[in-house]
């Protein structure tokens, strides 16, 4: 790891100001992606602005229509939250599938979204539920947030403060794990919002994406058999040592079917 200056502000404004001071600064949330990159010498920020002491960035609130989760809320808090389990059980399940216990105790929702790893889990829920991302500079609709490989709509210096998830009628998440990393080879989030169905897939493309055909089929009838026969095209899907595009395309169908089954339980 290269040497860097360390800052620990106690509010979001100071954090934004500190981050803006240096062109090569980085916000630090749970450090589960950033610190690894630094240890591997792939990232070498001059300044680290630690969000750990910014108290109002963490916490979970529910008003019956939406669940709002602070950016610094750890995965473990989300998976263990009685409110989340009650309002959006699939979201609690998803958070519990991220990494291992140590990762879940450190990693945060905001960090995961800002990082936008193509195989990360949270983006599937954010897009699958049509959540709204609130930042220091405004709000982003989920449909416009994920731009590409490790690329989001966030501008330099913009800090995610919270994410609001609409509460669905029912929802399910199924993840097919990479054996080694345990990130998603394919993760499918299916949500019946009452006024329509959303299906979001992570792991398969450069970033999380929606599947219109499946949404339509499930909108007509929310049942596993509605998607079981739908073949997904492999064009443009990720292909690597662990899974070819063709295998991923196949897994999307299988995971979608199982996510619907989970949602109906």
Partner 1 sequence: MGAPLIGARIPRKEDYRFLTGAGQYTDDVTLPRQTYAAFVRSPHAHAKIKSVNTAKAKGAPGVLGVYTGEEIAAAKLGGLPCGWLITDVNGQPMKEPPYPVIAQGKVRHVGERVAVVVAETQEQARDAAELVQVDYEVLQAVADGRLARAKGAPQLHDIAPDNTCYVWALGDKAAVDAAFAKAAHVTKLDFVNNRLIPNAIEPRAANGSYSRADDSYTLYVSSQNPHVERLLMTAFVMGLPEHKVRVVAPDVGGGFGSKIYLYGEDVVVTWASKQLGRPVKWTADRSESYVSDAHGRDHHTIAELAMDKDGKFLAMRVKTTANVGAYLSTFASCIPTILYATLLAGQYTTPVIHAEVTAVFTNTAPVDAYRGAGRPEATYVVERLVETAAREMKMDPAEIRRKNFIRSFPYQTPVALLYDTGNYDATMDAAQKLADVAGYAARKKASEAKGKLRGLGYAAYIEACGIAPSAVAGSLGARAGLYEAGEVRVHPTGTVTVFTGSHSHGQGHETTFAQVVADRLGLPVENVDIVHGDTSKILFGMGTYGSRSIAVGGTAIVKALDKIIAKGKKIAAHLLEASESDIEYANGEFKVAGTDKKKMFGEVAFAAYVPHNYPHDKLEPGLNENAFYDPSNFTFPAGTYVCEVEVDPETGVVKIERWSAVDDFGKIINPMIVEGQVHGGLAQGIGQAMTEGAKYDSHGQLVTGSFMDYCIPRADDLPSFQVDTRETPCTHNPLGVKGCGEAGAIGAPAALINAITDALGVKDIPMPATPQTVWRALQQKKAA
The residues that touch partner 1, with contacts defined as CB under 8 A, are 1-3, 40-41, 176, 179-181, 241-244, 247, 250-251, 254
Q: Which does 121 bind (CB under 5 to 8 A by kind): partner 1, ligand FAD, none?
A: ligand FAD
Please give the structure tokens belonging to residue 18. 């500190």
Residues 65, 60: Cα–Cα separation, whole Å: 13
**H or E segment and range at residue 213:** helix 212-220
Q: Smallest distance, Å, CB 2 to partner 1?
A: 7
Is residue 124 a contact point for ligand FAD (CB under 6 A)?
Answer: no
User: From the list partner 1, ligand FAD, none, which binds 1 (C-beta under 5 to 8 Å, kind-based)?
Assistant: partner 1
Q: Give all strands of the β-sheet with 170-177 in edge-to-edge order.
A: 170-177, 184-192, 197-202, 209-210
Stretch that binds ligand FAD, among 22-30, 83-91, 211-219, 232-240 (CB under 6 A): 22-30
| Shorter beta-carbon distance to partner 1: residue 40 or 212 | 40
- In the set 8, 14, 31, 89, which binds ligand FAD (CB under 6 A)? 31
Are 187 and 256 a contacting pair, CB within 8 Å?
no
Instruction: Tell which one of 62, 81, 112, 132 touches ligand FAD (CB under 6 A).
Output: 112
Question: Using the rule CB under 6 A, is 25 a contact of ligand FAD?
Answer: no
182 binds ligand FAD (CB under 6 A): yes
Which of 30, 70, 118, 172 is close enough to bind ligand FAD by CB under 6 A? Answer: 30
Q: How far is the CB of 221 from ligand FAD (least distance, A)?
A: 31
CA distances from 178 to 36, 47, 78, 203, 254 (A): 19, 33, 23, 10, 15
* Smallest distance, partner 1 to C-beta of residue 223, A: 17
Which residue lies nearer to partner 1 by CB, 1 or 141? 1
| Separation between Cα atoms, residue 178 and residue 50, nearest integer Å | 30
Q: What single DSSP character describes residue 167?
A: P
Identify which of residues 180 and 212 has a Cβ nearer to partner 1 in the complex: 180
Torsion, Cα 126 127 130 134, to 10 degrees, reads 50
Site for ligand FAD in 213-252 (CB under 6 A): none
Report how far residue 53's alpha carbon sits from residue 195's, in angstroms, rounded to the nearest whole number: 40
Alpha-carbon span 126 to 21, nearest angstrom: 31
Closest of 114, 190, 192 to residue 155, by C-alpha: 114
Q: Which residues bind ligand FAD (CB under 6 A)?
A: 26-34, 36, 51, 71, 98-99, 103, 106-108, 110-112, 114-115, 117, 120-122, 154, 159-160, 182-183
């Amino acid at each position: 790891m290269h040497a860097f200056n360390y800052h620990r502000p106690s509010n979001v404004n100071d954090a934004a100001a500190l981050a803006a001071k240096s062109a090569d600064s980085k916000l630090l949330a749970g450090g589960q992606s950033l610190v690894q990159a630094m240890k591997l010498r792939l990232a070498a920020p001059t300044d680290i602005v630690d969000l750990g002491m910014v108290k109002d960035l963490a916490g979970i609130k529910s008003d019956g229509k939406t669940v709002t989760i602070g950016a610094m809320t750890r995965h473990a808090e989300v998976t263990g939250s009685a409110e989340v389990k009650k309002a959006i059980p699939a979201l609690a399940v998803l958070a519990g599938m991220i990494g291992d216990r140590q990762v879940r105790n450190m990693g945060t929702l905001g960090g995961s979204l800002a990082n936008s790893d193509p195989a990360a889990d949270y983006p599937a829920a954010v897009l699958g539920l049509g959540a709204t991302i609130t930042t220091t500079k405004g709000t982003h609709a989920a449909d416009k947030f994920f731009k590409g490989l490790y690329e989001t709509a966030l501008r330099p210096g913009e800090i995610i403060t919270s994410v609001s998830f609409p509460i669905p009628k029912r929802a399910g998440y199924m993840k097919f794990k990479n054996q080694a990393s345990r990130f998603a080879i394919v993760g499918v989030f299916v949500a019946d919002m009452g006024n329509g169905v959303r299906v979001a897939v992570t792991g398969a493309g450069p970033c999380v994406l929606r599947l219109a055909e499946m949404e339509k089929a499930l909108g007509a009838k929310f049942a596993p058999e509605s998607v079981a026969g739908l073949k997904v095209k492999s064009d443009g899907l990720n292909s690597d040592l662990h899974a070819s595009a063709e295998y991923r395309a196949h897994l999307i169908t299988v995971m979608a079917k199982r996510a619907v089954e989970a949602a109906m339980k």
